[in-house]
Structure 1
Amino acid sequence: MPIPIHDPQQAPGALKRLPLRKAAVLFIVAVCLCLFGLLYLQLEQSRRQDLAVAKVASSNLTRAMAQQAEDTFHSADLVMTSLVDWIEDDGYGATQKPRLQKTFARRVQQMGQLHGIFFFDKQGQWIITSFADLPRGNGVADRDYFKFHQQNESTLAHIGPAIRSRENGEWIIPISKRVNDHAGNFQGVLMAGIKMAYFDQFFKSFSLDDNGIMFLGLTDGTLLARRPFEENLIGTSLAQGRIYQKLLPEAQSGTAMIRSVVDDVVRLYGYRQLGSYPLVVAAASSRDTILKGWYERAFQSSVIIALVILGVGLFGWVFIHQVRNGERIEKNLRRAQLALEQIATHDSLTGLANRRLFERSLEIEFARGARQVSPVSLIMLDIDFFKRYNDAYGHVAGDHCLMQVAQVVKTCCQRKADLAVRYGGEEFAVLLPDTDINGALAIAGQIRRSVIDKHIIHSGSPTGYLTVSLGCYAFIPSGNDSLETFIHRADAALYQAKNAGRNRAAVLSLDGGIAELMRSDR
């Protein structure tokens, strides 16, 4: 049983450094993940804050738009209500027309949002306008607002789709009221045209990005006014859009991020439905513009984190490289340590344990045997007529012969605790812990027969082939035993075997006598 001078597995450095490279990799990965996590949290919080600020701004903008639109139509509504009362009370005969025309004109001058005020009879013909001359044509019986009042008895103001004025072709938004006679019958329609340019100027007073939009529409989705102004879109329906389909049915005002089906631009929309009139206003800024500052901060933060991670990675690579070099150096040192221990404790020719390891093993087995009250056996063996073999075949052949015998001895030591030793020259020893004399004698016989089975030619031996002589001794240690005495008694049994004719094994009895137990013919 080989017992090394130094056990590399017990080295403190090995225990500490064994997981160091893996721990370093895990630490670097954890640091990088933490940096990524912190970057993500910081950017996400910043993005949400920018969007929250934009939502507040969008809500305020739509509130201002709604207030402006309501004030605009409410002012026109009040003027028209007073004029309708006048017409219904005093009529619009020849004596009233000049006064009404002047009043119409004065009201238009006072209210900048008005394109004009027009009164049509029940056939849709122009009766009075705020302009000096009546337009020529077939009237407005085909207009939607006229048909509405013709078919509905409601006296509330009606806001219709945007139209081009037949007076001068200007885009206007008509707000109209029904005029009845004293019996409540349909007498005509009073219409005031709100300039679309008025809303266009109002929309331009707000700061929007190039991709931003603002619009005014009816609750049925009809587009009345828009920024940027696109004439081909005026009057189109927005009813299938998300604002009208999903958002307005749930809440009359709010904000939402919507991707446009027209230009595929994602915008933050603020919308609001007016309470007094069937109108909806909305304003939207593109998400890219809202998050422009966030994108810049995200890029800067990402670059900084990338540089930090690169630095950590480079440091980690250098550190791991150093650890790997240290592990390689330590591994080489352990190999050198093992090689030195092998050299210090084993015979260089045969590979068996040397006397130094043998003596240390004896001390350990003596102490164990004393504790456990178990026997310890020793076999000493010697190659018969080995000097003659060297003289006949040379020292190189002699070394080869020693290696062959050593291999036999090592093979016969089947237990891990057994120790095969080259004691010196052609003499070998076998230490057998926890083995009595009978076990030792059995091993000795196995060794003797195995050497014979090798059929190593030896012209200097009476048998013509190589043989060995063996001496066995066994006892139970008491704790105060002498190593020299133990070895001497096994050696005495060996010499008894040699004196008795060689090629045999002998055992030293416990009373000190010599008992020859094996001969060459057995």
Structure 2
Amino acid sequence: MPTRLDELCHAQGIALKRIPLRNAAVLFIGAVCLCLCALLYLQLEQSRRHDLSQAQVASSNLTRAMAQQAEDTFMQADLVLTSLVDWIQADGFGSAQRPRLQKTFVRRVQALDQLHGILLFDQKGQWVVTSFEALPRGNGVADREYFRFHQQNISSVAHIGPAIRSRENGEWIIPISKRVNDRKGQFQGVLLAGIKMSYFEQFFKGFSIDDNGAMFLALTDGTLLARRPYVQAQIGTSLAKGEIFQNLLPRATSGNAMFASEMDSIVRLHGYRQLEAYPLVVSAASSRDSILADWYDTAFRSSAIVVLVILGIGLIGWVFIRQVRVGEQVEADLRQAQQALELIATHDSLTGLANRRLFERALDIEFGRGARQQSPLSLIMLDIDFFKRYNDTYGHVVGDHCLAEVARAVKSCCHRKADLAVRYGGEEFAVLLPDTDIQGAMNLAEQIRRGVMDKNISHSGSPCGYVTVSLGCYSFVPTGRDSVEVFIQRADAALYQAKHSGRNRSATLSVEGGAQALVRSDR
């Protein structure tokens, strides 16, 4: 709650608002650091997206090249098989035709690097003609997936089956086969061309990918045909539950996606594409760490620079804030000193009550307020009875103690913050009461008189034997043309009347019709 002194000082323009410089400095330094971090984040995020975008373009181009090469590889074998099947179905594959067929098979295999061999099987799965010098011996191929497929399907379209080991020499091959019918369209056998697995291994090695990159060729059902890096145990495994076959291919036949591989859990950017002519899928993937290697290096260096800048700003800011804090402490000390000086200048050092300087300032303010609000203003003047005798009897030190006790009694009766208790001079005191009529002033005066008596301060020079006070009250409504001196003189006249009437009493002074009337109150 503001005190009477605070209100007066504010009215005089003494109270000033201080700019919170330290808080502003902390906010500014924090904002600068946050802006630097935000700019770093935006720059790094933009750079990361650019690198990933470039990698996606490269991945799409790579898978397109892989798809084209794979399609060309199988199409060449398919064309060879188609021409041979037409010949066999027209001329048959009796003993007379077999030598010629064998030579033709050999020439076709020699013409295409990807071919392991060409083999013709009868309707029971036994070897009839091959591109090899001698026919293999054994139980035939009736158990093979491609042979059963053609037995059960009359389609003349080439069939690509899972990778198998050749029973001729144990080499891994990818079989592409076609059904052979007789003149009546009945199943007569299967013509097969084996694509070398090593051909795709060499093909994959021709592409530049990182050490953790991967490439594969698979059937559309997810069966793995070939892969880089080559792991023999993985050939023929199913990728059907992987991200590409499970989620991506059903939505689009080609695209890019970043995910962890189901083979080795390495996070890669996968480009994939399904071939148009054959039920095959190719994919090329580069590891995320390889794609972002340069970005990681840039991010580390940029972050280190920003950290150093932030540390520098923080150090400078700390020094600045420390200086501000020192300045604030100096300002606080000066403010305390100013308040102490103000207290000394406006209060009596012995009693702690306001002095005449503050009293005169308050009178000017209250006269103006009372005139504006048409409210009464009252003044009580009081004096310690026979105080000269008290000093002569007990000494000035005890006299000062008596003044302090009377001041405490006066101050304890002033309950409102607007009331101002003043040491007017010597043993004389005053109480200024805004918004108080004469009756209120008399009531407070009686409270003060009784409060002093209740302290029972011994006074052998007083007829009562203890210290008493006499009080004079005056009240009026300011008009804006009043004299402060007259106001004080009339309260002082009432005090004189109280002392003249026997002391230890309160008196009032009222002005009616231009004449003075004294009213005495003995209690």
Structure 1 unmatched ranges of 5 or more:
none
The yes-or-no answer on 1:74 pairing with 2:90 is: no
State the alpha-carbon separation in 1 of the partners of residues 18 and 374 from structure 2: 40
Match of 1:517 in 2: 520
Which deviations, in whole Å up to 9, do the C-alpha atoms of 1:348-391 show, x marking residues without a partner?
Answer: 00011111112222233333444445443332222112122223
Letter of the 1:497 counterpart: A
State the alpha-carbon separation in 2 of the partners of residues 112 and 456 from structure 1: 130
CA contact (8 A) 2:216 2:226 kept: yes
Taking structure 2 as the reference length, the TM-score comes to 0.91
State the alpha-carbon separation in 2 of the partners of residues 365 and 151 from structure 1: 117
Paired residues for 1:109-128 under 5 Å: 109-128=110-129
The yes-or-no answer on 1:354 pairing with 2:355 is: yes
The yes-or-no answer on 1:42 pairing with 2:43 is: yes
Match of 2:473 in 1: 472
Following superposition, the deviation at residue 459 of structure 1 comes to 1.1
Structure 2 unmatched ranges of 5 or more:
none
Which stretch of structure 1 is more off in the superposition, 491-500 or 353-362?
Answer: 491-500
Paired residues for 1:160-239 under 5 Å: 160-239=161-240
CA contact (8 A) 2:174 2:195 kept: yes
Secondary structure class of the residue paired with 1:207: coil
State the alpha-carbon separation in 2 of the partners of residues 517 and 482 from structure 1: 25
Following superposition, the deviation at residue 126 of structure 1 comes to 2.4
CA contact (8 A) 1:4 1:345 kept: no
For the structure 1 residues 205 and 408, does the alpha-carbon distance in structure 2 shift closer, same or farther, using more than 3 Å as the test?
Answer: same
Letter of the 2:128 counterpart: I
For the structure 1 residues 5 and 475, does the alpha-carbon distance in structure 2 shift closer, same or farther, using more than 3 Å as the test?
Answer: closer
Following superposition, the deviation at residue 201 of structure 1 comes to 0.3
Match of 1:255 in 2: 256
Secondary structure class of the residue paired with 2:47: helix
Match of 2:323 in 1: 322
Secondary structure class of the residue paired with 2:75: helix
Letter of the 1:286 counterpart: S
State the alpha-carbon separation in 2 of the partners of residues 468 and 274 from structure 1: 117
CA contact (8 A) 2:8 2:362 kept: no
For the structure 1 residues 261 and 216, does the alpha-carbon distance in structure 2 shift closer, same or farther, using more than 3 Å as the test?
Answer: closer
Taking structure 1 as the reference length, the TM-score comes to 0.91
Following superposition, the deviation at residue 445 of structure 1 comes to 2.6
Letter of the 1:17 counterpart: I
State the alpha-carbon separation in 2 of the partners of residues 388 and 10 from structure 1: 45
CA contact (8 A) 1:445 1:518 kept: no
Match of 1:310 in 2: 311
State the alpha-carbon separation in 1 of the partners of residues 159 and 199 from structure 2: 19
For the structure 1 residues 85 and 421, does the alpha-carbon distance in structure 2 shift closer, same or farther, using more than 3 Å as the test?
Answer: same
The yes-or-no answer on 1:367 pairing with 2:368 is: yes
State the alpha-carbon separation in 2 of the partners of residues 424 and 9 from structure 1: 25
Secondary structure class of the residue paired with 1:17: coil
Match of 2:140 in 1: 139
State the alpha-carbon separation in 2 of the partners of residues 85 and 373 from structure 1: 126
For the structure 1 residues 377 and 11, does the alpha-carbon distance in structure 2 shift closer, same or farther, using more than 3 Å as the test?
Answer: closer
Match of 1:301 in 2: 302
Which stretch of structure 1 is more off in the superposition, 417-426 or 367-376?
Answer: 367-376
For the structure 1 residues 57 and 29, does the alpha-carbon distance in structure 2 shift closer, same or farther, using more than 3 Å as the test?
Answer: same
Secondary structure class of the residue paired with 1:161: coil
CA contact (8 A) 2:157 2:178 kept: yes
Following superposition, the deviation at residue 234 of structure 1 comes to 1.1
Match of 1:415 in 2: 416
Secondary structure class of the residue paired with 2:175: strand
State the alpha-carbon separation in 1 of the partners of residues 197 and 450 from structure 2: 123
Following superposition, the deviation at residue 475 of structure 1 comes to 4.1
Aligned residues: 518
For the structure 1 residues 406 and 113, does the alpha-carbon distance in structure 2 shift closer, same or farther, using more than 3 Å as the test?
Answer: same
State the alpha-carbon separation in 1 of the partners of residues 40 and 219 from structure 2: 45
CA contact (8 A) 1:506 1:514 kept: no
Match of 1:151 in 2: 152
Match of 1:280 in 2: 281
Which stretch of structure 1 is more off in the superposition, 480-489 or 417-426?
Answer: 480-489
State the alpha-carbon separation in 1 of the partners of residues 362 and 114 from structure 2: 115
The yes-or-no answer on 1:243 pairing with 2:249 is: no
Following superposition, the deviation at residue 324 of structure 1 comes to 3.1
Following superposition, the deviation at residue 512 of structure 1 comes to 5.9
State the alpha-carbon separation in 2 of the partners of residues 97 and 373 from structure 1: 136
State the alpha-carbon separation in 1 of the partners of residues 6 and 67 from structure 2: 95
State the alpha-carbon separation in 1 of the partners of residues 203 and 415 from structure 2: 105
Match of 1:17 in 2: 19
State the alpha-carbon separation in 1 of the partners of residues 339 and 100 from structure 2: 124
For the structure 1 residues 213 and 393, does the alpha-carbon distance in structure 2 shift closer, same or farther, using more than 3 Å as the test?
Answer: same
State the alpha-carbon separation in 2 of the partners of residues 82 and 8 from structure 1: 113
State the alpha-carbon separation in 2 of the partners of residues 2 and 460 from structure 1: 37
The yes-or-no answer on 1:130 pairing with 2:131 is: yes
State the alpha-carbon separation in 2 of the partners of residues 361 and 202 from structure 1: 103
For the structure 1 residues 221 and 136, does the alpha-carbon distance in structure 2 shift closer, same or farther, using more than 3 Å as the test?
Answer: same
Letter of the 1:409 counterpart: V
What is the Cα-based RMSD across aligned positions, in Å?
Answer: 2.5
Secondary structure class of the residue paired with 2:472: strand
Which deviations, in whole Å up to 9, do the C-alpha atoms of 1:294-346 show, x marking residues without a partner?
Answer: 22222223223323333333333334333333333323222222111110011
State the alpha-carbon separation in 1 of the partners of residues 457 and 270 from structure 2: 103
For the structure 1 residues 431 and 158, does the alpha-carbon distance in structure 2 shift closer, same or farther, using more than 3 Å as the test?
Answer: closer
Following superposition, the deviation at residue 123 of structure 1 comes to 2.8
State the alpha-carbon separation in 2 of the partners of residues 189 and 368 from structure 1: 120
For the structure 1 residues 120 and 403, does the alpha-carbon distance in structure 2 shift closer, same or farther, using more than 3 Å as the test?
Answer: same
State the alpha-carbon separation in 2 of the partners of residues 150 and 362 from structure 1: 123
For the structure 1 residues 514 and 504, does the alpha-carbon distance in structure 2 shift closer, same or farther, using more than 3 Å as the test?
Answer: farther
CA contact (8 A) 1:215 1:282 kept: yes
Which stretch of structure 1 is more off in the superposition, 220-229 or 413-422?
Answer: 413-422
CA contact (8 A) 1:8 1:334 kept: no
State the alpha-carbon separation in 1 of the partners of residues 391 and 503 from structure 2: 18
The yes-or-no answer on 1:391 pairing with 2:399 is: no
Secondary structure class of the residue paired with 1:15: coil
Following superposition, the deviation at residue 479 of structure 1 comes to 4.1
State the alpha-carbon separation in 2 of the partners of residues 431 and 131 from structure 1: 131
Which stretch of structure 1 is more off in the superposition, 216-225 or 178-187?
Answer: 178-187
For the structure 1 residues 437 and 156, does the alpha-carbon distance in structure 2 shift closer, same or farther, using more than 3 Å as the test?
Answer: closer
State the alpha-carbon separation in 2 of the partners of residues 216 and 373 from structure 1: 103
For the structure 1 residues 502 and 373, does the alpha-carbon distance in structure 2 shift closer, same or farther, using more than 3 Å as the test?
Answer: same
Paired residues for 1:369-518 under 5 Å: 369-510=370-511, 515=518, 517-518=520-521
CA contact (8 A) 2:505 2:521 kept: yes
